A and B are shown apart, each in its own frame.
Chain A
Amino acid sequence: MNQSRFTFPRWTNLALPATIVIGMTAPLYIAIVVAYGFSPQATDVGYMPEQPIPFSHQLHAGELGMDCRYCHNTVEYTQHAAIPPTETCMNCHAQIHPESEKIKPLYESYTTGMPIEWVRVHDLPQYSYFNHSAHVTRGVSCVECHGRVDTMEVVYQHETLSMGWCLECHRDPDPHIRNPDLVTQLAWGLDMSGAERLENSALWRTHNNLQPSEDCSTCHR
């Protein structure tokens, strides 16, 4: 047929099917993009760097039942929960397994005086202010943010640490509150039913008059 009487070239007939195909694939595309956004790959959940010494929290905090505060001793008083110096480890390891191959770097550090270069797992951005003491002394347990560290052979990031995740608790603290004396008891409360846990949380929240702030300047100072 003579094409010249048509203004639009023949390939423009593809516009309709193309629109339909794009329209149908768009939801799939959006679903994939959103799913990726929530995936651990994007949120860093599960980040588990290799440490200079294969220190096992599972052994120390779990089996041996050491309190978190024995090593992270500033957590109740300062913004930062201290990473213990070599000397803290040596309190025990001067006597225990001094010959072990695994803690060789510890002895090296002790004799040379050069600190062990632990790799940071939980890394908040510089523009967000977080204070450990403000949380643990008000009954927010370590487990709420760090997960069951007492069962981790190697520590990994358990939560997204995103702003939305912070706000979730700031907007509705229950059931994340407990008796401040029990904050380092990571397994505490697991045997409670959901309702009991909520009730307990509300009790301590009221008792300590907790009103978490949602102002921008609380965290972005």
Chain B
Amino acid sequence: MIPITIDGREVEIEEGKTILDGARQLGIDIPTLCYLERCGPMTSCLVCVVKLRFNGRTSVVPSCGMKAVAGMVVESETPEVHDLRRSALELLLSDHVGDCLSPCVRICPLGLNIPQMLRQVQLGRPEEAAATVRAALALPAVLGRMCHRPCENGCRRTACDSAAAIREVERFVADTNQSRAEPYLAPRKPATGKRVAVVGAGPTGLAAAYELMRNGHACVVWDRAETPGGSLRREVEAGRLEPAVLEAEIRDLKRMGIEFRSGILVGRDIPMTSLLAEFDAVFLAAGEMTAADGEALGVTMTVAGVKIVRADAFLTSVERVFSAGSAVRPVKQLVKAMAEGQMAAEAIGEFLAGHDPRKAPKPFSSVMGRLEKPELHLFRAGASPEPRVTPKSGGGVGFDPSEAAHESARCLHCDCRAAGDCRLQHYSQVYGAEFGRFPRQRRAFEQHRHPGRVLFEPGKCILCGICVKIASESAEPLGLTFVGRGFEVRVAAPLDETFERGLQVVAAECAEACPTGAIEVAAPTDAFWGCSNHGHGCR
């Protein structure tokens, strides 16, 4: 056994093992992209660097390849080392061509995974689509009618003809779900035993309550009105929203376990102190408030509304009391009001878990920006060429399943297949990597698929060398190689053969091992492959 020190902690490592092994023994999560145990160290990504003091010398080394020698002193979780790792990630990102998340998802304040929903609808899987929708939206049927759909403004399809009808499809998913005997509800995490009082049953309060419930906290929603809905009641009264739709949404929230205490004005009918005594946290989302309302609740006010002392925590002047939405400052858009509730719930969740209350960071995404014509063409090749579908039966009813599928097939799927399963994305998020740190010219997006099921997007390749190695150790007749030198190095099949010819035997293995989404082997039914295989608009 070899004794070394990592971050001041002694660890004994088996002979022949590396610093990385030692760190893992200690439970330190050193990020790695190019390291796979079965392939041995590639020492190419350099994201796993540590600072090493040994033999009177200090150096920065990749921990995956550096065998432990007795007496090594290693720094891993220090600002300096993190800075280097972040720089390595940022350098890789600076040459990373592809979006993790499509523009519509990045724009959606609630972060709905829109392309996934569209793929599910296209493939005729409404239950799965409902789950996707429910993972982000507290009031899907309402949003499916009333959202001002900023997502459609960002849709890349606009550059071809017109945006995908995202809201209309979302409404279809919500309505289809609602039409079932027992509509799908988002699963709840195991109960935490924590309880939160939400003051105000409008969009912000409901979104927060929904998020808190999903995360295993108990929620009681107080509202002065007899029926929950807050500002949405006004929409119903004005005839812009069918009452049944709102009622169904509330029903689902109740089914989920949210308790409603209606017709009670907190501060008048029940003092704030009682809430604070009974609940672990209080969330104020009672819509626009006067100074007097504030006084009654005991919170400091500004001209606009409740005073927030820490913006990223939604914390008011009173401990354990949080606030967001129009209670703080007027919020016009429904989806934004709900997003504030959702973010505040994340911060409250952190607080309930004993952490510093802080809203979750935005999910990391690499960003391609505007697509050039040839690039757009690549994406378009997989999508239905038909123009935007409008519901035959008119706006009152919405899409039928066929219309929804046809419209969904228009999606360009410009998100990444590997999003959520990509180590580059993951560590970029963890390390707070800045995607646009370096000014540069973006390379063109490329996609190789000829014509089988192996798909290669060289812009997403980080040249880790894992697939090259796997192929070289297999019975591949051609295999893969690094081509070129310097900044222009690429992974490709030799002799200008197609990528797929290079991987005739171990494609699935390579796709599995790929740390990013550069290599994928698609199932025949994958909507990503859309229609180039089976004809446009097909299932």
A and B interact: no
